[in-house]
């Protein structure tokens, strides 16, 4: 029983800093070290809704614990709440100081726990270009998480995805620092709320992976990132800086990679000078899983696990998702190899976060609420709305939307039609609508819906729950003989159809985090894997009107589909309600309005292919030309939009001035629809540091009725016009700027702005 019932740190009426100082002054070295560590345990909830902790667990928790990992991985929301309550009760009543624990989990596109709502994958959320919606999605995820007693989310991923061979592309918000920062700030605010202390339905958010993890050499996960400082500051650090300084993110996770030769987990410039000193980050720096150990085994900058521990703690890693700090850190402090002040610094940051979460005063969850709010009707409706808004129509020659009254037979063909695809970092939501199911439900007997698989992408379909393949090590190729049979059967079915829907792409088994040689997920090609191109050619050769839907985690070089299919959608992973959302769009009940957050190259040889490149990346390839397959910001609608009267006022401003950009947008079609109005800026003639051909600096998703017009306005100022100069300082250069507004990065109107000295 704790002997400090009347201690100051237990008094909820006192200021946080006073409580924190009092607690730290009472702690032993053993108790401080324990706060820097994580403990993974399998919790069994007994039939009478109690939890019995075995002796080894009690021993591990004797000095308290920083956090416990993924308590709800294999149990439902009520059981998770019961389990977290039991552990918090044990810590509160059976340890000397009664310090509560973090319960840590993943929430990339919804809480990664049994029964929780699965929203569209992160890159799909970015395709909505709707920060308000994204904030709502993460509010729902945080509510489900906190109701279970979990309080620290290892999300959002703020890496720029500029290497689509990389298997983690799907976890990001795309290739652009501005879009990534706006969606990232929304995600942090959804998780943490907008003020401190963090409220009872919110959790600690984590900006990861800090930094430059999304363009690894060769597209190989964890490979080096070698970039000039100016490039890092202007692009790869931008979303992280916004998360820290605008959204007040509570934790930042170091990335596995090295930057310019130094592994990030011990990178003094990045972790201390930039993050702590320049940005003023007061929160927790956390290792990635096994990241400290990899200093020895992967990067070879430490001769032992002990040395890796010393280097990481010195660099400022406060909390580990690893087993280093729980190893010999205590002995190293006692021997004098590690200063105790390093431990004090880290423990203070851990405990401050626990106070900000209110864990000392309200450590317990409500099992009834956990069961009630998890994947409830409101969250399912939000998942459906997010899926609707994330769907991107890449091509339509007029075939869409389909009229069910004019179609007798619709053939749904392809390896991704019948399985539930959720993307990586998913758990079983307990429900889910596949593409095939969604179409059959919407067809409602008005047409004959037939199905054929066509071919396989991998040999395993995991019982129709394809997302489970993300977890498995082996990726087994399909049987060629079976593929021949499936292809022949699909072509027979296609002949019977008035319209064919091809559902193609990748699976979670081949587009995923490559965390070891046994669990690979990076590719050396962006073509459709397996026999899918044979299936495409066979169906298109029949001349049957054909719609294609891509379900995948990265941009794919689908040149034949882009040229010859009548219509083409990008779905990424649409979440548990994805089948319903797609069927609504296919039959015209909703109008697609998503936009690409990443460029689609024509081939892997064009990589990197991001839109905001420098002017010198202009020259074409011999025999291949230039230009992307689909540009950044691209997306079509079942209606049309016209832009006119683009104005910039005033047309001349000083470097610290502001200008108003105003454009008139009209729905010129016959359907209501969403348009994403995009603002780009180009510094025409740079003083010394070259500038990109264009940079996104504003956007707004609007809904217009047929014939309706709206004036959309943006403000341009220092934030939008500045850049990182040769002195590594933000500055606005005098001179001419092109101000571009339109519906994609490739279709804009242009006006002029002059910055005068």
95 three-class SS = coil
Half-sphere exposure of 26 (CA within 13 A, CB side): 21
Give me the numbers of helices (H) and strands (E) for the chain, helices first please: 22, 25
Residue 14 per-residue DSSP state: S
Within 211-300, strands assigned E span 251-254, 258-259, 262-263, 284-286
Task: Identify whether the C-beta of residue 602 lies closer than 8 Å to the C-beta of residue 640.
Answer: no
Number of Cβ atoms within 10 Å of the Cβ of 346: 25
Q: d(Cα 433, Cα 439) in Å, to the nearest integer?
A: 10
Whole-number Cα distances in Å, 58 to 39, 229, 661: 12, 48, 63
Active-site entry in 159, 288, 318, 683: 288
Which DSSP string corresponds to 21-86?
A: HHHHHH--HHHHHHTT-EE-----B-TTS-B---HHHHHHTTT--SEEE-TTSSS-HHHHHHHHHH
E strands along 268-328, which residues? Answer: 284-286
Given a contact cutoff of 8 angstroms between Cβ atoms, the answer to whether 205 and 723 are in contact is no
Considering Cα of 31, then 34, then 35, then 36, what sign does the dihedral take? positive
Q: What is the 3-state secondary structure (H, E, C) of 476-539?
A: CCCCHHHHHHHHHHHHHHHHCCCEEEEEEECCCCCCCCCCECCECCCCCCCCCCCCHHHHHHHH
Is 22 known to be catalytic?
Answer: no
What tokens appear for 110 in the block? 């919804």
Structure tokens at 370: 């956990």
H or E segment and range at residue 280: none
- Collapse the DSSP code of 724 into the 3-class scheme (helix H, G, I; strand E, B; otherwise coil) and give the result: strand
Q: Is 175 helix (H, G, I), strand (E, B) or coil?
A: coil
Dmax of the chain from CA atoms?
81
Comparing CA positions, the residue from 248, 314, 255, 332 lying closest to residue 286 is 255
- Residue 128's Cα: distance from chain center in Å? 13
| Integer Cα distance of 179 and 162 in angstroms | 14
User: Distance between CA 721 and CA 735 in Å, rounded?
Assistant: 11
SS (H, E, C) 700-747: EEEEECCCCEEEEEEEECHHHHCEECCCCCEECCCEEEEEEEEEECCE
- How far is the C-alpha of 336 from the C-alpha of 30, rounded, in Å? 15
Helix or strand or coil: residue 185?
helix
Give the active site residues.
288
């Amino acid at each position: 029983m704790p002997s400090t019932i009347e201690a100051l740190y237990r008094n909820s009426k006192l200021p946080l800093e006073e409580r924190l100082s009092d607690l730290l002054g009472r702690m032993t070295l053993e108790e401080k070290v324990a706060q820097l560590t994580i403990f993974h345990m399998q919790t069994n909830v007994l039939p009478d809704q109690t939890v019995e902790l075995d002796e080894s667990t009690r021993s591990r928790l004797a000095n308290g614990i920083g956090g416990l990992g993924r308590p709800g991985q294999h149990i439902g929301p009520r059981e998770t709440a019961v389990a977290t309550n039991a552990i918090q009760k044990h810590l509160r009543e059976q340890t000397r100081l009664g310090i509560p624990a973090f319960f840590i989990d993943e929430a990339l596109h919804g809480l990664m726990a049994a029964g929780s709502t699965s929203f569209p994958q992160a890159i799909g959320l970015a395709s909505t270009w709707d920060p308000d919606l994204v904030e709502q999605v993460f509010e729902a995820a945080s509510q489900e998480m906190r109701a279970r007693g979990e309080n620290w989310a290892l999300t959002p991923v703020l890496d720029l995805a500029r290497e689509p061979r990389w298997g983690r592309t799907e976890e990001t918000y795309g290739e652009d620092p501005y879009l990534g920062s706006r969606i990232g700030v929304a995600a942090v605010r959804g998780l943490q709320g907008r003020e401190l202390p963090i409220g009872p339905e919110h959790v600690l958010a984590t900006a990861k992976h800090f930094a430059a993890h999304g363009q690894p050499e060769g597209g190989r996960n964890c490979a080096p990132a070698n970039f000039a400082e100016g490039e890092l500051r202007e692009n790869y650090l931008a979303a992280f800086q916004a998360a820290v300084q605008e959204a007040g993110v509570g934790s930042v996770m170091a990335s596995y990679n090295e930057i310019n030769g130094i592994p990030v987990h011990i990178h003094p410039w990045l972790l201390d000078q930039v993050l702590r000193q320049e940005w003023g980050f007061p929160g927790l720096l956390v290792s990635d899983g096994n990241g400290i150990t990899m200093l020895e085994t992967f990067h070879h900058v430490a001769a032992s696990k002990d040395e890796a521990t010393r280097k990481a703690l010195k660099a400022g890693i406060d909390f580990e998702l690893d087993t280093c700090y729980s190893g010999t850190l205590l002995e190293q402090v006692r021997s004098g190899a590690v200063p105790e002040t390093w431990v004090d610094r880290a423990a203070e940051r851990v405990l401050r976060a626990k106070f900000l979460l209110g864990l000392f005063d309200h450590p317990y969850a409500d099992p009834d609420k956990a069961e009630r709010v998890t994947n409830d009707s409101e969250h399912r409706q939000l998942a459906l709305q997010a899926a609707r808004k994330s769907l991107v129509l890449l091509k339509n020659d007029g075939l869409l939307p389909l009229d069910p009254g004019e179609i007798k037979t619709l053939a749904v063909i392809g390896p991704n039609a019948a399985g539930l695809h959720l993307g990586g970092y998913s758990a079983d939501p307990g429900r889910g609508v596949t593409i095939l199911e969604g179409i059959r439900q919407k067809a409602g007997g008005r047409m004959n819906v037939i199905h054929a698989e066509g071919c396989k992408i991998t040999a395993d379909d995991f019982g129709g729950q394809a997302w489970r393949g993300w977890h498995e090590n082996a990726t087994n190729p399909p049987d060629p003989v079976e593929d021949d049979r499936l292809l022949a059967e699909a072509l027979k079915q296609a002949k019977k159809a008035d319209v064919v829907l091809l559902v193609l792409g990748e699976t979670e088994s081949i587009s995923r985090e490559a965390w070891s040689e046994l669990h690979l997920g990076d590719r050396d090609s962006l073509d459709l894997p397996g026999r899918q191109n044979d299936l495409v050619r066979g169906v298109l050769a029949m001349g049957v009107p054909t719609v294609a839907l891509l379900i995948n985690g990265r941009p794919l070089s689908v040149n034949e589909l882009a040229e010859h299919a009548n219509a083409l959608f990008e779905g990424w992973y649409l979440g548990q309600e994805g089948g319903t959302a797609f069927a609504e769009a296919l039959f015209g009940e909703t109008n697609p309005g998503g936009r690409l957050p990443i460029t689609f190259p024509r081939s892997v040889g064009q990589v990197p292919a991001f839109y905001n490149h420098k002017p010198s990346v202009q020259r074409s390839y011999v025999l291949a030309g230039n230009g992307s397959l689909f540009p950044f910001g691209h997306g079509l609608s079942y209606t049309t939009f016209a832009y006119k009267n683009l104005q910039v006022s005033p047309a001349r401003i000083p470097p610290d001035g502001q200008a108003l950009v105003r454009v008139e947008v009209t729905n010129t079609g016959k359907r209501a629809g969403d348009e994403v109005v995009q603002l780009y800026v180009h510094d025409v003639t740079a003083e010394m540091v070259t500038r990109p051909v264009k940079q996104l600096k504003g956007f707004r998703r609007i809904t217009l009725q047929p014939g309706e017009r709206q004036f959309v306005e943006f403000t341009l100022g220092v934030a939008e016009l500045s850049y990182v100069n040769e002195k590594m300082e933000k500055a606005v250069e005098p001179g001419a700027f092109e101000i571009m507004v339109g519906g994609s990065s490739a279709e804009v109107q242009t006006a002029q702005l002059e910055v005068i000295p």
